[in-house]
Amino acid sequence: MNTQKSSLEFSHFPVMLREVIQILSPKNGGVFVDCTFGGGGYTKALLKFSKTKVIGIDRDPAVINLAKKIEIKFKNRFKFFNLKFSQLDKALKKNADVMIFDLGLSSIQLNNLKRGFSFKSKDRLDMTMGHSNTSAQEVVNNLGEKQLNYIIKILGEENDAKLIARNIVKARSEKKITRVDELVKIIEKSKKKIFPKKINPSTKTFQALRIFVNKEITELIEGIIKATKLLKPGGKILVVSFHSIEDRIVKFFFTSFSKNQTKSSRYFPEDHNLNTVLFERYKNKVIKASRKELFENNPSRSAKLRFATRSNNEFVYPKKLIQKFRKYLDIEASNA
Ligand SMILES: C[S@@+](CC[C@H](N)C(=O)[O-])C[C@H]1O[C@@H](n2cnc3c(N)ncnc32)[C@H](O)[C@@H]1O
């Protein structure tokens, strides 16, 4: 057996690893669920503490080989499941001490130009993370102009969505859009403003398509709800998010279902009853990468870390979370 590691295995820099370890205290042991295994950065760091057991989850089949190697090395302490985090309950029978979500893409996925996530790619417009129903190519060629506009505007928060959608429909009437660089050209042509050098004009449209293709908002909401249900009282749920929609969801969830929820809650005062308290007091503190890390690892610039501690209260389904973010869930539901 070839036990040499490929260079890809080393190419993901785990975001805020030092902070994550500090918050989760793995030296005390426990069951840790790494819901976004990726390059295995967090998992490997947690397994260095002898009393930990780790369950790794990732929807991407491309990480299975790496996960298998870790399973062999840590036979009774690590198990991997190629599942989406909305399917967490298929991997876990007993309650966990910690649930970790490090959202978005790994650099392994981004740097593999064949996957179509990067603006630099000239390959097929794919953008599927694994266990996805549709590709970005199908989305840009098959959906109507109005729907494309809505997806790009809402999921990408892109001001020029209307023009981009119009130009996509125009371009595909002449020739099917199959490659990433073809889409990039259409977007660049559609952008009204001159863009600062640091931000690629395609960023927001790519974000929208990636979210839609992989139903990332539905996954996040279902994932954090299931994770909370599976957490032991006193257990921690930790989320690293990379864009504002994700962070709004996590902030709303931790704040609105925590013990500091008061009668004057501007979110839903009528729901002030103990049944909806899923977390201990939540400080609403966002942790960001240190200056040193920003220097070493550029993707960490947009990372926001939040964590909450599960209360002793029985789990009650947090319906208000679904209601609050219904708009996003409805858009993704059209990707059947
Ligand atoms: C930012 S990377 C995680 C990197 C990891 N923390 C590390 O240190 O190597 C995110 C990973 O989560 C996976 N992922 C994203 N959404 C997911 C979902 N809904 N279910 C399972 N895995 C998901 C992606 O495939 C990707 O591998």
- CA dist 296 and 277 (Å) reads 39
The answer on 298 and 171 residing in a single domain is no
pLDDT per residue as tens digits for the range 49-90: 999 999 999 999 999 999 999 999 999 999 999 999 999 999
CB 240 within 8 A of CB 234: no
The answer on 227 and 265 residing in a single domain is yes
DSSP 8-state symbol, 16: T
pTM beyond 0.85: yes
The per-residue pLDDT for 336 is: 80
> 9 falls in which pLDDT band (50, 70, 90)?
very low
The answer on 99 and 245 residing in a single domain is yes
Residue carrying the six token digits 């947690």: 46
Collect all residues with Cβ–Cβ distance below 8 Å to 298 and sequence separation of at least 6: none
The answer on 193 and 237 residing in a single domain is no
CA of 38 to the centre of ligand 1 (A): 5
CB 238 within 8 A of CB 307: yes
Residue 197 maps to a domain:
yes
The answer on 77 and 141 residing in a single domain is no
Of 166, 196, 214, which closes a domain?
214
CATH of the domain at 147: 1.10.150.170
The per-residue pLDDT for 11 is: 63
The answer on 285 and 143 residing in a single domain is no
Per-residue burial over 14-23, b = 16 or more CB atoms within 10 Å of its CB, e = otherwise: bbbbebbbee
Query: Bridge partners of 237?
Result: 99, 308
Pocket of ligand 1 (CB under 6 A): 12, 14, 36, 38-42, 57-60, 63, 84-85, 102, 104-106, 129, 219
The answer on 147 and 224 residing in a single domain is no
Q: Look at 280 and 95; give whichever has higher pLDDT.
A: 280
76 is written with which tokens?
Answer: 């009774």
Residue 56 maps to a domain:
yes
Q: Probe ligand 1: pick from 35, 106, 215, 293, max atoms within 8 Å of CB? A: 106
DSSP 204-258: HHHHHHHHHHHTHHHHHHHHHHHHHHHEEEEEEEEEEE-SHHHHHHHHHHHHHTB
Of 154, 179, 214, which closes a domain?
214
CA of 58 to the centre of ligand 1 (A): 6
Asked if pLDDT for residue 268 goes beyond 80, the answer is no
For the CA of 60, the nearest atom of ligand 1: 25
pLDDT per residue as tens digits for the range 199-257: 899 999 999 999 999 999 999 999 999 999 999 999 999 999 999 999 999 999 999 99
Q: Whose CA is nearest to atom 7 of ligand 1?
A: 41
Q: Whose CA is nearest to atom 22 of ligand 1?
A: 58
165 is written with which tokens?
Answer: 């959608």
| Alpha helices, DSSP H, located in 61-194 | 64-73, 88-91, 107-111, 136-142, 145-156, 161-174, 180-190
CATH of the domain at 319: 3.40.50.150
pLDDT per residue as tens digits for the range 123-178: 999 999 999 999 999 999 999 999 999 999 999 999 999 999 999 999 999 999 99
DSSP H or E segment with residue 321? helix 319-324
Nearest C-alpha neighbor of 88 from the set 220, 213, 253: 220
CA of 147 to the centre of ligand 1 (A): 27
> 275 falls in which pLDDT band (50, 70, 90)?
low
The answer on 101 and 228 residing in a single domain is yes
CB 11 within 8 A of CB 39: yes
Structural domains of the chain, count:
2
The answer on 229 and 80 residing in a single domain is yes
CB 230 within 8 A of CB 297: no
Residue 313 maps to a domain:
yes
CA of 102 to the centre of ligand 1 (A): 6
Of 214, 247, 263, which closes a domain?
214
Asked if pLDDT for residue 260 goes beyond 50, the answer is yes
Residue 54 maps to a domain:
yes
> 262 falls in which pLDDT band (50, 70, 90)?
low
Residue 123 maps to a domain:
no
The per-residue pLDDT for 235 is: 98
Nearest C-alpha neighbor of 306 from the set 237, 218, 229, 259: 237
Expressed as residue numbers, the domain containing 146 is 133-214
173 is written with which tokens?
Answer: 């009437």
Residue 66 maps to a domain:
yes
> 299 falls in which pLDDT band (50, 70, 90)?
confident
Q: How many Å separate Cα 179 from the centre of its chain? A: 24
Residue 333 maps to a domain:
no
The answer on 288 and 256 residing in a single domain is yes
Asked if pLDDT for residue 3 goes beyond 50, the answer is no
The answer on 222 and 182 residing in a single domain is no
Residue 118 maps to a domain:
no
The answer on 99 and 50 residing in a single domain is yes
